[in-house]
Amino acid sequence: MLKKMNLPNKLTMLRIILVPILILILTVTAENFENIEESLLDKYNEKTKSVSTEEVANVKVWGMTKSKIEGISDLYYPVVGTAALVVFLVAAITDFLDGRISRKANIVTKFGKIMDPLADKLLVSAGFIMLTGLGVIPAIITAIVVFRDFFVNALRMFGSDNSKDLAAGLSGKIKTLFQMLTITFALLSFILVKGAGMGAFIETSIDMNVIQLAVNVLMTVTALFTVGTTIWSFVDYFKRFKEDIDVVN
């Protein structure tokens, strides 16, 4: 099937495939890293029982000394966050590329018209839901984003049945931009500020350097703009729906 697809549709499929990968990465917990560390320390302690005091410093498990093993739990935020960020950015780039290629080559297919917006919604919804579960983004923001996407998708399906194309307008494009920026800065905040959530820069108990502060502020600002543009996009779609589509029939 993929061989017969044009390039924009292949990029759309790649974005869809990356969504479950993003979800799986963000389901890894700090406890998983702690369990690995504890297991390796147990193996290390077993090994050191049979060696002399002078040889203890040279004992390694999986090529790691005791000091490195004890640092595994600290790798949770940078490893999981960076992996998730890379996957998300690759998916976001495919969104930019498939739209650009489609417009430049004037490639329009039924598959693309249906699956491209679906891929965007899956990616954004997955990002917001997982980051809410990690305590980075408030649940109310995720609820607004997911509600808008489900409702607008229903409007577009209804419009399609009535031979009306409710294509993405300016409000939808700006909304998507801020949603993508919010997820990007949220993942950066997860990495740099060890899972600190929106507005963490206000809390005096959290010590941040300039970069950490900037990232957390940017996440908070873009998240607020996401709420505003998502509501704007919802109202815009609803107005266009009322004007263009006959709900009686």
pLDDT above 70 covers what percent of the chain? 88
User: pLDDT-based confidence at 142, cuts 50/70/90?
Assistant: very high
Q: Using pLDDT thresholds of 50, 70 and 90, give the confidence band for residue 100.
A: confident
Average pLDDT, the chain: 85
Give the single-character DSSP code of 49: T
- pLDDT at residue 50 above 70? yes
Higher pLDDT, 242 or 91: 91
Sequence-ordered strand ranges (E) for 35-184: none
Of the pLDDT bands very low, low, confident and very high (cuts 50, 70, 90), residue 204 is low
Give a yes or no: residue 249 inside a domain. Answer: no
Instruction: Examine the pLDDT at 216 and tell me if it is beyond 90.
Output: yes
Calculate mean pLDDT across residues 3-27. 89
- What pLDDT, on a 0 to 100 scale, did the predictor assign at position 160? 61
Q: Which domain holds residue 233?
A: 2-244
Higher local confidence (pLDDT), 183 or 195: 183
| Number of H-type helices and E-type strands within the chain | 8, 0
Q: Is residue 32 in some structural domain?
A: yes
Q: What is the pLDDT of residue 243?
A: 62
Q: Whole-structure pTM over 0.85, yes or no?
A: yes
Q: Read off the pLDDT of each residue in 93-120 and give the average, rounded to a whole number.
A: 79
Type of residue at 243: E
- In the three-class reduction of DSSP (H, G, I as helix; E, B as strand; rest coil), residue 208 is classed as coil
What integer pLDDT is reported at residue 3 of this predicted model?
A: 57
For residue 47, pLDDT beyond 80: yes
pLDDT tens-digit map of 159-187: 665 556 556 678 888 999 999 999 999 99
Structural domains counted in the chain = 1
68-99 burial, b if ≥16 CB within 10 A, otherwise e? ebeebbeebbeebbbbbbebbeebbebbeebb
The C-alpha atoms of residue 115 and residue 129 are separated, in whole angstroms, by 20
